[in-house]
Amino acid sequence: MRYRMVINKHGVLAVPLATILVPLVLLAGCAVQTPPVSQRESLPSPAAQRQAQQAVLNTAPAVPQLKRKIALGRISNETHYGQSLLRDAQDDPLGKQVTDMLSKALTESGRYLVFERPDLGRVKEEGKLTGAQLNVIGVDALIVGSLTEFGRKNIGQTGFLSDSKRQVAFAKIDVRLVDTSTAHVFFATSGAGEASVESASTLGFGSTASYDGTLNDAAIRQAVSDVVSRLGTELSARPWQTAFLAAEQGQIFLAGGKAQGLTPGMVLAVLTVGKKIKSPQTGFDITLPGQEVAKVRVDALFGDSEATEGSVVSVVSGSLAGHKLTDLVVRQQGGQ
């Protein structure tokens, strides 16, 4: 390609207009290029999540599922984030936030009976106003844990014409399940969560993002969700079991109803409670296997909540004669 130099009448070098426009057009073409956008699946809206959870709660399980009684114990913030010399050990807003989120997630899962422990004193004080006696129910397991990792960081990439920055918040929660009858820690797990927001620009043009404080909450919420999922896998492994309530006027009443998956026509096995023997090896009480004495069929369900549900059953084989109802347990057929 040849270029022609032109000198105007004032003796000044005149550059052809095309010589200037071509590089500008090429530069403009570079300016509109943006960094590749990573595709991410958007999370369901809170309303959609609540609707899905309610649909699960309204649907009876295909097989009986035992709802363990659980309570939240100490959930504290053991990171340096949010700590101050002006705060005492009881003033732990981040630990309280994790406790509230975990309690909400466990309750909404529909798989547990969750009992209040952190604010039990306030519940008792409220009961005194009306003279109501608080009937505190023991639980099968106590959840104890802490927020062990929490922080934020900025990740950036700078090129010749482009610049990108990503704000990342990360949280990790460690919890353990404690058997309230022996203080034995029978399960421990962790849950992690991460949330981020990204901005990118080219030649100063593009999206911007200021400090987003909600990323902290989103990361903690994801970590809580991860913990609840792992707890569900462990606790659901326990075989379903229930007990008789009473036998009156020819009817036999059983604890447990629709929320636990019982349906009319279902047949359950009745076994004697096995003898307890202390193990000389571990010091724990070991229950020996019981003997099946009868089978019962679910005839009807009653109760208006998972805490007050029950079933009416009848004996279809074997006999309950000669046995105290308190010395018998009822299990799904085939359950050990």
pLDDT tens string 305-315: 888 899 999 99
Co-location of 201 and 272 in the same domain: no
Domain stops at, among 183, 212, 235: 235
Co-location of 144 and 249 in the same domain: no
Tokens representing 277 are: 């023997």
Give the mean model confidence (pLDDT) for residues 3-17. Answer: 50
Mean pLDDT of the chain: 77
Q: So what's the pLDDT on residue 210? A: 54
pLDDT-derived band at 335, boundaries 50, 70, 90 = low
Q: Is the pLDDT of residue 139 over 90?
A: no
Indicate whether 41 belongs to any domain.
no
Q: Which domain holds residue 249?
A: 241-332
Cα gap 280→89, rounded to integer Å:
41
Kindly state the percentage of the chain with pLDDT values over 70.
Answer: 69
Core vs surface per residue 22-54: b (16+ CB within 10 A) or e: eeeeeeeeeeeeeeeeeeeeeeeeeeeeeeeee
Q: Is the pLDDT of residue 36 over 50?
A: no
Return left, alpha or beta for 256; rule: phi > 0 is left, psi -120 to 50 is alpha, else beta. Answer: left
- pLDDT top residue among 25 and 18: 18
Report the predicted TM-score, pTM, of the whole model to 2 decimal places.
0.65
Distances (CA, A) of 246 to 204, 224, 321: 77, 40, 14
β-strand partners of 185: 178
Residue given tokens 């809580």 in the structure block: 224
Question: For the chain, how big is the Rg over CA atoms in Å?
Answer: 32
Q: So what's the pLDDT on residue 140? A: 83
Return the top range by mean pLDDT from 16-25, 50-59, 111-120, 129-138: 111-120
pLDDT digits (tens, 9 = 90+) for 155-206: 766 555 556 678 889 999 999 999 888 888 989 999 999 988 776 555 454 4
The count of other CB atoms within 10 Å of the CB of residue 18 is: 8
- pLDDT top residue among 23 and 33: 23
DSSP three-state, residue 225: helix
Co-location of 247 and 208 in the same domain: no
Amino acid at 48: A
Co-location of 189 and 257 in the same domain: no
Cα gap 37→110, rounded to integer Å:
38
Cα gap 7→10, rounded to integer Å:
8
Q: Name the pairing type of β-strands 68-77 and 141-158.
A: parallel
Q: Name the pairing type of β-strands 162-179 and 185-202.
A: antiparallel
Tokens representing 313 are: 């059953």
CB 263 within 8 A of CB 298: yes
pLDDT-derived band at 146, boundaries 50, 70, 90 = very high
Co-location of 213 and 268 in the same domain: no
pLDDT digits (tens, 9 = 90+) for 50-100: 666 566 555 545 566 667 888 988 889 988 876 655 454 566 788 888 999
Distances (CA, A) of 168 to 66, 213, 215: 39, 11, 8
Indicate whether 178 belongs to any domain.
yes
Co-location of 196 and 316 in the same domain: no
Q: Is the pLDDT of residue 31 over 50?
A: no
DSSP three-state, residue 12: coil
Backbone angles phi, psi at 276, to 5 degrees: -95, 130
Indicate whether 20 belongs to any domain.
no
Q: So what's the pLDDT on residue 240? A: 79
Co-location of 158 and 302 in the same domain: no
CA atoms within a 13 Å half-sphere pointing along the CA-CB vector of 75: 29
Backbone angles phi, psi at 69, to 5 degrees: -85, 120
CATH of the domain at 255: 2.40.10
Co-location of 206 and 84 in the same domain: yes
Indicate whether 47 belongs to any domain.
no
Give the mean model confidence (pLDDT) for residues 234-249. Answer: 84
Q: Please state which of the ranges 11-15, 50-54, 294-298 shows the lowest mean pLDDT.
A: 11-15
CATH of the domain at 180: 3.40.50.10610
CB 231 within 8 A of CB 174: no
Indicate whether 34 belongs to any domain.
no
Q: Is the pLDDT of residue 289 over 80?
A: yes
CA atoms within a 13 Å half-sphere pointing along the CA-CB vector of 252: 20
Domain stops at, among 206, 235, 264: 235
Co-location of 257 and 289 in the same domain: yes
Q: Among 120, 218, 208, 222, which residue's Cα sits nearest to residue 173?
A: 222
Cα gap 223→219, rounded to integer Å:
6
Co-location of 160 and 114 in the same domain: yes
Domain stops at, among 208, 235, 262: 235
- pLDDT top residue among 263 and 117: 263
Indicate whether 38 belongs to any domain.
no
Co-location of 309 and 168 in the same domain: no
Cα gap 124→201, rounded to integer Å:
57
Co-location of 296 and 315 in the same domain: yes
Amino acid at 179: D
pLDDT-derived band at 136, boundaries 50, 70, 90 = confident
Indicate whether 8 belongs to any domain.
no
Give the mean model confidence (pLDDT) for residues 257-269. Answer: 89
Query: How many domains, the chain?
Result: 2
Q: So what's the pLDDT on residue 153? A: 81
Residue given tokens 């610049």 in the structure block: 163
Indicate whether 282 belongs to any domain.
yes
